[in-house]
Amino acid sequence: MRDGLDRWADPPLLVLASLAEEPKHGYAITQDIADTMGVRLSAGTLYAVISRLESRGLIEPLESDDRRRPYRLTAAGARELSEQSERMRQVASVAQQRLRANYGWGGA
Amino acid sequence: MSAPQSPPRGRRAGIAARAALSLYPPAWRARYGDEVRALLEDSGGGPRAAVSLAWHAVPAWAWPPRQLHDGSGRMRASLATTGVAWVLLAGLAAVFAQLAQAQPSSQGQTLAQHPVIQWSYWAFDGFLAVSVLSVAAGGIPLWWLMIRTAHRRREVAWLLAPAVVPAVYLVATFVIADLVSRPSPPVGPWQSGPVADLANGGVGPRWFLALVVLGFAAAVLAAAGPALALRGLRPEGPAVVLAARAAVLATMTMGLACAASVVAAVGLYLWAPADAGYHESWQLAVYLPAVLLSSAVAVVSATRGIRAARPPAVA
C-alpha cells in the first residue's frame, strides 16, 4: 500500500496534497502543483498517478459533461495524506533541530 | 473548481504526444484518453509530454489499473492468442512427426538402439494426446456456445473455419500427394498412405516444403475463425473460464510435447544422422527457435488469461 507513497516529493503525494484543497481536473492539478510546490508534472506522470490513486480508492472522479473530468480526495486519500505528511513533518522537524544544533542553520 | 486554474483553451496537442497516447492499452485510452487529450490541448503537449506519455505506456500495459479490470475481455483475448500459438505448436509437432516418427528408414533400429530417442517419442505422443484432448474438452463447450449465439445473429461462417479449413487442406494434400508422389513401399500400417509419409520421398522436398507452408497458413486461418468470433460475440460465463483453464493445460502439455520433440530431434542429429529428418544442424536451428517462440507466446498468453479469471484484489 505504501510503495511509492513514502518518498520525498513523490508525485502521488503532490497530487493528493493538491486535491486536499478542492476537486480539480488534470490541468488544474498540474498548475496548482507547479505554483504552490514548484514541481511540474508531465502528462504521462500525472495520469499514471491518477490511475494508480484511483485504483487504490484514494481519489475518485466526479461526474462531468466536459472532457476535463475533476477528481476529489476520498476519506481514505485524506487519511493517507495525513499519515504521510505527519511522517514528513517529523522528518523535517528532526532534520531542522539537528541542523540548528550542529550547523547553526535550521531553515526558516 | 478554482477560477485561476482555468486552462487556456484552443491549443492543439502535439502530434507526437497524441501518437504517444495511442501506445496505451485500449481500456486505458477509453477511460483516460479524452482527459489526457484535453490536458495536452491545455498545456501545449510538447516533446516532454510525448516522451512522458510513451514512457508511462509501458507500466500501463504491464500493470493495468485495477479499476480497468475486464476479466472476461482479457480471457477472450488470451484465449484467441493462445489458440493461434497452440495451433502453430501443433503444426510444428506435425512437421516433427512427418520428419521423424513417420520415417520408414532405419528408425526401427535407431529406436531400439537409443533409449533417449525412444522415450522422447513416447513422451511426445503422450503429451500431444493430452493436449489435443484438453483442447477438445475445453474448446467444444465454448465453441457450441458461440455457435448458438452466432446462429441467432447469422454469423456462423467464422466458427466453421476450424472444421472446414483443415478438411480442405487435407483433401488438397491428398490430391497433391497422389499427383506428385513417387513410389515408396510402406514399412508399417501407419505409413500406408501418401499423407502419412510425405517427407520421405513421398512428394519430394520442394512439395513437402510447399505443403508445410500451406499447412501453417491453413492452421492460422482455422484458429483465426474462433479468435475473431470471440472478439465479435463476446461470450462470457463458465464456458469461457473452462476454456481458459483447458487452454493452460493444453498449452503446458503441447509445450512438453514439443520439448520432447526437441530432445528427439537433437538425439537424431547426434545418434542417428542417417535418418531422413533432423539430421542437419540448420533444421534444428529453425525448429528450436520456432518451438521456443510459439511456446513463450502460448505460455504468457495462457497465464494472463488464467490470471484474468480471478477477481481483482481489493485495494
The stretch B232-260 carries a mean pLDDT of 85
B221 located within any domain: yes
**Tally of domains in chain B:** 2
Residues B87 and B163 in one domain: yes
Residues B141 and B274 in one domain: yes
Query: Is A27's CB within 8 Å of B34's CB?
Result: no
DSSP of B188-202: SGGGSSTGGGSTTTT
The stretch B218-227 carries a mean pLDDT of 86
B66 located within any domain: no
Print the domain residue range for B273.
Answer: 71-308
The stretch B165-188 carries a mean pLDDT of 76
- Residue-wise pLDDT tens digits, B125-150: 999 999 999 988 988 888 888 888 88
Give the chain A residue whose CA is nearest to the CA of B54.
A44
Residues B53 and B108 in one domain: no
- The distance of Cα A93 from the centroid of its chain, to the nearest Å, equals 19
Q: How many percent of chain B have pLDDT more than 90?
A: 9
- Is A21 a residue whose pLDDT tops 50? yes
A19 located within any domain: yes
- Residue-wise pLDDT tens digits, B23-35: 988 888 989 999 9
Residues B47 and B147 in one domain: no
Distance of alpha carbon A57 from alpha carbon A72, whole angstroms: 11
A4 located within any domain: no
Residues B105 and B57 in one domain: no
Residues B154 and B278 in one domain: yes
The three cell numbers of residue B147 are 455457435
Residue keyed to cell 513523490: A10
Distance from CA of B50 to the nearest CA of A (A): 8
Domain boundary residue, one of B39, B61, B83: B61
A108 located within any domain: no
B313 located within any domain: no
B260 and A CB contact within 8 Å: no
Domain boundary residue, one of B17, B42, B61: B61
CB nearest to A24's CB, from B5, B40, B51: B5
Distance from CA of A57 to the nearest CA of B (A): 7
**Tally of domains in chain A:** 1
**Could you give the 3-state DSSP secondary structure of residue A97?**
helix
A35 located within any domain: yes
CB nearest to B52's CB, from A27, A31, A44: A44
Distance of alpha carbon B39 from alpha carbon B37, whole angstroms: 5
Largest CA distance in chain A: 57
Q: Give residue B190's pLDDT band: very low, low, confident or very high (50, 70, 90).
A: very low
B241 located within any domain: yes
Enter the pTM of the model: 0.59
Distance of alpha carbon B247 from alpha carbon B224, whole angstroms: 16
Residues B105 and B165 in one domain: yes
**CB under 8 Å, gap of 24 or more: what pairs does B108-115 form?**
B108/B187, B110/B268, B110/B271, B110/B272, B110/B275, B113/B271, B114/B267, B114/B271, B114/B272
Residues B263 and B152 in one domain: yes
Residue A31: list chain B partners with CB under 8 A: 5
Give the chain A residue whose CA is nearest to the CA of B31.
A51
Residues B170 and B254 in one domain: yes
A2 located within any domain: no
Q: Give residue A86's pLDDT band: very low, low, confident or very high (50, 70, 90).
A: very high
A21 located within any domain: yes
B50 vs A106, more confident: B50
- Is B218 a residue whose pLDDT tops 50? yes
Instruction: Name which of B68, B5, B3, B76 is nearest B42 in CA terms.
Output: B5
B35 and A CB contact within 8 Å: yes
Query: Is B28's CB within 8 Å of A24's CB?
Result: no
Which of B23-27, B183-187, B282-286 comes out lowest in average pLDDT? B183-187
Distance of alpha carbon B55 from alpha carbon B57, whole angstroms: 6
Print the domain residue range for A19.
Answer: 11-103
DSSP of B63-130: S--GGG--HHHHHHHHHHHHHHHHHHHHHHHHHHIIIIIT--STHHHHHHH-HHHHHHHHHHHHHHHH
Residues B166 and B269 in one domain: yes
Distance of alpha carbon A4 from alpha carbon B279, whole angstroms: 55
B314 located within any domain: no
The stretch A23-40 carries a mean pLDDT of 92
Query: Is B35's CB within 8 Å of A68's CB?
Result: yes
Give the chain B residue whose CA is nearest to the CA of A43.
B49
B17 and A CB contact within 8 Å: yes
B55 and A CB contact within 8 Å: yes
ipTM entry? 0.84
Q: Give residue A1's pLDDT band: very low, low, confident or very high (50, 70, 90).
A: very low
B295 located within any domain: yes
CATH number at residue A40: 1.10.10.10
Distance from CA of B315 to the nearest CA of A (A): 5
Q: Give residue B76's pLDDT band: very low, low, confident or very high (50, 70, 90).
A: confident
Distance from CA of A103 to the nearest CA of B (A): 39
Q: Give residue B195's pLDDT band: very low, low, confident or very high (50, 70, 90).
A: very low
Residues B7 and B137 in one domain: no
Packed helices A43-55 and B26-43: angle between N→C axes, nearest 10 degrees: 130
Residues B75 and B36 in one domain: no
Strands of A9-70, DSSP E = 59-61
B315 located within any domain: no
Residue A25: list chain B partners with CB under 8 A: 1, 35, 38
- Is A47 a residue whose pLDDT tops 90? yes
User: Which pLDDT score, from 0 to 100, does residue A9 have?
Assistant: 65
The three cell numbers of residue B233 are 460475440
Q: Is B61 exposed, middle or buried (0-12, 13-18, 19+ CB in 10 A)?
A: exposed
